[in-house]
């Protein structure tokens, strides 16, 4: 039987905030899931255990927008933009895992995604050298929400699968022949799971940043 994605109640997901303490964690963004909305949802890593937050500061959110390729430039995000991004991310994760599990959508998570998608999104422009997309932080976030809408209403829904490593909570699109892909990536998840070792966030820059439960920010 296929393992279903682990899910927290939506009201619990809304209460995530960032806290940092001594130690090292790799804050480099990775894009393994086959869709920007899924990669965005994966920026809270190892949800079942240590819950490492990748959006530890506004500049890490901006880096994600640029590295994902959804925009070419983005205006500098503020802490309020990070709060909105985390709220959207958790709403996307709630809807994606509900779809994988065959459960009904949570109405509040659905409203967050739809409200964000309704706002102006990043618009590509034709230039002499090709195409360029400049955006504000809010426009970039709306673009992510629209990717989620397209994904969850489109033909890739039957291909959604959670990584086979029990400590990894990424959901990806399995386009492999015969649907045989088991991992978000062989390195580290496939290799370490097959070896019986649980992958942990790799050491890199200063500061371990964990996501913990707290009072949700006031809605704007």
pLDDT in tens, the chain (220 residues): 344 445 555 555 554 444 444 445 577 898 989 999 999 999 998 898 888 899 999 999 999 999 999 999 999 999 999 999 999 999 999 999 999 999 999 999 999 999 999 999 999 999 999 999 999 999 999 999 999 999 999 999 999 999 888 888 899 999 988 877 877 776 678 676 566 554 444 443 433 334 433 333 333 3
Number of H helices, E strands in the chain: 7, 10
- Report yes or no on 1 lying in a domain: no
Q: Domain range spanning residue 26?
A: 11-213
pLDDT, position 195: 64
In a domain, 194, yes or no: yes
Phi, psi of 49 (to 5 degrees): -135, -95
Domain presence at residue 219: no
Residue of 96, 97, 88 lying closest to 115 (CA atoms): 88
The CATH number that applies at residue 208 is 1.10.3300.10
Q: How many domains does the chain have?
A: 1
In a domain, 218, yes or no: no
Residue 73 within any structural domain of the chain: yes
Residue 2 lies in a domain: no
pTM: 0.79
In-domain check, residue 5: no
């Amino acid at each position: 039987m296929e393992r279903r994605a682990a899910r927290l109640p939506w009201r619990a997901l809304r209460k995530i905030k960032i806290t940092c303490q001594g130690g090292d964690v790799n804050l480099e963004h990775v894009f393994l899931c086959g869709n920007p909305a899924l990669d965005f949802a994966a920026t809270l890593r190892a949800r079942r255990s240590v819950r490492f937050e990748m959006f530890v500061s506004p500049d890490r959110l901006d880096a994600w927008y640029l590295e994902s390729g959804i925009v070419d430039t983005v205006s500098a995000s503020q802490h309020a933009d990070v709060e909105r991004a985390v709220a959207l991310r958790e709403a996307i994760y709630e809807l994606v895992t509900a779809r994988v599990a065959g459960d009904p959508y949570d109405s509040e998570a659905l409203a967050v995604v739809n409200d964000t998608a309704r706002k102006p999104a990043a618009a590509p422009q034709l230039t002499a050298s090709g195409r360029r997309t400049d955006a504000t932080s809010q426009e970039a976030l709306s673009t992510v929400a629209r990717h989620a809408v397209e994904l969850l209403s489109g033909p890739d829904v039957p291909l959604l699968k959670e990584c086979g490593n029990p400590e990894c909570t990424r959901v990806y699109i399995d386009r492999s022949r015969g649907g045989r892909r088991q991992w978000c990536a062989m390195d580290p998840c496939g290799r370490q799971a097959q070896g019986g070792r649980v992958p942990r966030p790799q050491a890199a820059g200063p500061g371990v940043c964990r996501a913990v439960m707290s009072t949700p920010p006031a809605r704007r």
